[in-house]
Structure 1
Amino acid sequence: MSTPDRWMGSTPGIYKLRIDELILPGTHDSGSDKEAPKFLLPNEITQDVPIRDQINRGFRVIDLRVELFPSQPVGHPRRFQLYHLTSSGRTIADDVLGVLNAFYAEPARRNEIIILNFHQFKNFTDSSHEELQQLINQMIGARLIPYAFRPMTLAELRQETPERTVVISYNSNRGDDDYWPGVEQQWIGKDYISTSTLKEFMDDVSAQPKRPYALRAIQCAKYTGLFVPDDFSDKVDAWFESKDINSYIQRFHIINTDWSTRSNIVINCAHANQFRAMAKD
């Protein structure tokens, strides 16, 4: 793929699909990367590169676990930081929202849909939820696709609201009315499993019907016996290789992985969306 930063805009037929019908590559624990400004233990690091590079390399669903730091003043970028077990030093303001604004400053990228999945909240109160939402709406509010637009296809979105390219999925009942419900996470519930056990789990849950308009993700991630996120990119490439409408990848929607940029998942998702769109004709 020559232009992974704009693969959605160049994928034939994808405009026929709704957002919840897409097959999208996602990154698991997106804010815990090797280049993070704070020291992280090996069992916390799940990605090689920061969110900026994840998005530039084609990943379209970002898994955000947000920690409030009350010691930082209101309005300070470090007040809302990303964490796994501890904070990575990555911030919502600079490393997520600012990154998105920079990404969309390039006109050729404005057909790319990105889902920010606010998945977990640490040290939050009702007022801090309101504060975080004010930050989101202030920095990227004009880009947000309201939940009311969920029946629209990408073609309809591009025609009627081309400036709206970002979905906020907020895993709390304190979310703004325009925010989408939290992504439904299909997770096995255990960190230390074999790849064969993970595959059996994926086989089972992918057979379950998805509710219309729901955002659903498979957690294709696990730990090794050394208590670090496992790199099984070879399995990811084999499992999700897209060949035709009958390929295994057609059973999924959002596919979240660790060490995401080491696999071919973006290429396979782009290819798979063409077949899903053809099947909708």
Structure 2
Amino acid sequence: MSQTLQNHPPIHMKWMAETPELQHLRIDELILPGTHNSGSDKQSPNLGLPQEIAQDVSPHEQLRHGIRVLDLRVAFYKNQPADSPRRFQLYHLTSSGRTVAVDIVQKVKAFFQELESQGAPAQEIVILDFHQFDGFTDEAHAELQGLLFDEMEQRLISYQLSDLTLSSFWADYPGRNVVIAYNHSSVRDEFWDGVLQRWPGENLFNTNTLKAFIDSVAQEEKTPCRLTAVQCAKYSLPFHAATDLSHKVDQWFASVDEWSYIQNFYIINTDWSLRHSLIAQCQHANRIRGQRALTHPQEPLQPALRHLNNG
């Protein structure tokens, strides 16, 4: 099922709406495809060094193709005017030129407007994980949180609703689609804690080491209602550039049945995220997990761990 960007990856704009089994799960129980360093892509205004680029297309296009979790790292530029979008820019090592106000807030709203132009409330969930901050003060955090709340309030899924399954959620709160996870103290009760991103703590290692780490994450017990991600990403020499792990992603996270390895995970963040079949695998895996939650409500969602070939 491997699919490269050059072969025109399929657009999965409504894959969650087309997966009715999701209704039996909470948001934190979903198996979701995410992008690592979502704002550092080849279409960025400021195309940086090779080690800064992790995606092929913009965050907006990532969403349109089926990605549902954006890993956002934000730098604060205090010398920019308070009303300038460039005050909060996405970065990896340096700014990509993308801004929170335009490339995230406006484009997320445009994504849902496109869905709803078809005449029905959108039933896709997008998680915006504001994970890392550079140059921030307490005042800068308050300013960014205010921007996010003011612009996204009508779409926000409050953390106070985190214990609801999607069936209850869609029935009582149609039109709310966006989780803001903020990895810093927040004055907004609506915001969720930052996604718990599990990564090895270093970037340069071989593929077997990465798989061993992911195996260890698969065995961890997840806190209820806590958003949790595994970082399936690594870098390669000589340029310290993001490795294309598409073949391994397709192998490791293939969804076949309830005992498939992917059933041990929740959010799966990858680089070059439209070059492999993870979105389709997540859709299939959610069908299985949702059906299992319906038929075996007292059993844990994660089945006994089955290791796959490390090769």
Q: What band does the TM-score fall into relative to the shorter chain?
A: over 0.9
| SS of aligned partner of 1:43 | helix
Where do 5+ consecutive residues of structure 2 fail to align?
1-8, 295-311
The separation in 1 between residues aligned to 2:48 and 2:147, in whole angstroms, is 26
Q: Secondary structure at the match of 2:142?
A: helix
Contact 2:35 2:271 in 1 (8 A): yes
Q: Which residue of 2 aligns with 1:14?
A: 22
Residue in structure 2 matched with residue 243 of structure 1 by the alignment: 256
Which residue of the other structure, out of 213, 218, 222, is the alignment partner of 2:225? 213
Q: 1:2 and 1:230, CA in 2 relative to 1: closer, same or farther beyond 3 A?
A: closer
Instruction: Supply the AA of the counterpart residue of 2:47.
Output: F
Q: How far, CA to CA, are the matches of 1:155 and 1:75 in structure 2?
A: 39
Alignment CA distance shift 1:175-1:27 (3 Å): farther
1:279 maps to 2:287: no
SS in 2 for 1:192: coil
- The count of corresponding residues between Structure 1 and Structure 2 is 281
Matched, 1:53 2:66: no
Q: Which residue of 2 aligns with 1:31?
A: 39
Aligned-pair identity (%): 49
Residues 2/91 of structure 1: CA separation in 2 closer, same or farther (3 Å cut): closer
Q: Please give the alpha-carbon distance, in whole angstroms, between the structure 1 residues aligned to 2:20 and 2:191.
A: 28
TM-score normalized by structure 2?
0.88
Provide the residue aligned with 1:63 in structure 2: 71
Please say if residues 126 and 174 of structure 1, whose CA atoms lie closer than 8 Å, have aligned partners that are also in contact: no
The CA deviation string for residues 166-212 of structure 1, in whole angstroms up to 9 with x for no partner, is 00000001351110001011101110111111111111121011001
Structure 2 residue 81 is matched with structure 1 residue 73: yes
The 2-side partners of 1:38 and 1:186 are apart by 28
Distance in structure 2 (CA, Å) of the matches to 1:230 and 1:175: 38
Of the candidates 264, 268, 275, which is equivalent to residue 262 of structure 1? 275
Pairing partner for 1:192 from 179, 197, 204: 204
Q: Residue 257 and residue 231 in structure 1: after superposition, are their counterparts in 2 closer, same or farther (change >3 A)?
A: same
Q: Distance in 2 between matches of 1:75 and 1:217?
A: 33
Match of residue 85 from structure 1: 93
SS in structure 1 of the partner of residue 214 of structure 2: helix
- Cα contact 2:11–2:64 (8 A) shared by 1: no
Per the alignment, residue 131 of structure 2 pairs with 119
